[in-house]
Amino acid sequence: MPIRDLLQAQIEQMGQAIGKMISKFLGLKNDGKIEEAMAVTQTALQEELGLDFEKLYRSDEEDFLLFFQDKPYSAESLELLATYFMEAGAYKKATHPEEAVLILQKAINILTLADQAENSLSMTRMAKKQKIEQLLKH
């Protein structure tokens, strides 16, 4: 039981860290400071979660899955992370379309991981996937 409690605490801590980062990102984005928002968020992802945004979105499918394999991310945390990837990809679409495609595809992959973590499909995640697919098409 203590190991389970420790794991649950780690999952909750990671979720809170991701939630704070995404909230800060969206706040700065809404203030029109998207470049600053991305820089702050990417630094926080690296420092708090050991997640290298650029390395992750540029990784191949196998390396991408290996990164998440042993990490105790909850479906909610993964969904928040996918939101960041979606927002970053949408922003980069105008100036760096090749990067945007990679980032948006990884957002879909993260949402798929969230489905697997919960062992169910979510209408919210399905709607996000559709929105990302629309961004990829246009």
The conformation of residue 94, written as its DSSP 8-state character, comes to: T
pLDDT digits (tens, 9 = 90+) for 88-135: 999 999 899 999 999 999 999 999 999 998 888 889 999 999 999 999
CA 44 to chain centre: 13
CA–CA gap between residue 138 and residue 33 (Å, rounded): 24
The predicted model scores a pTM of: 0.85
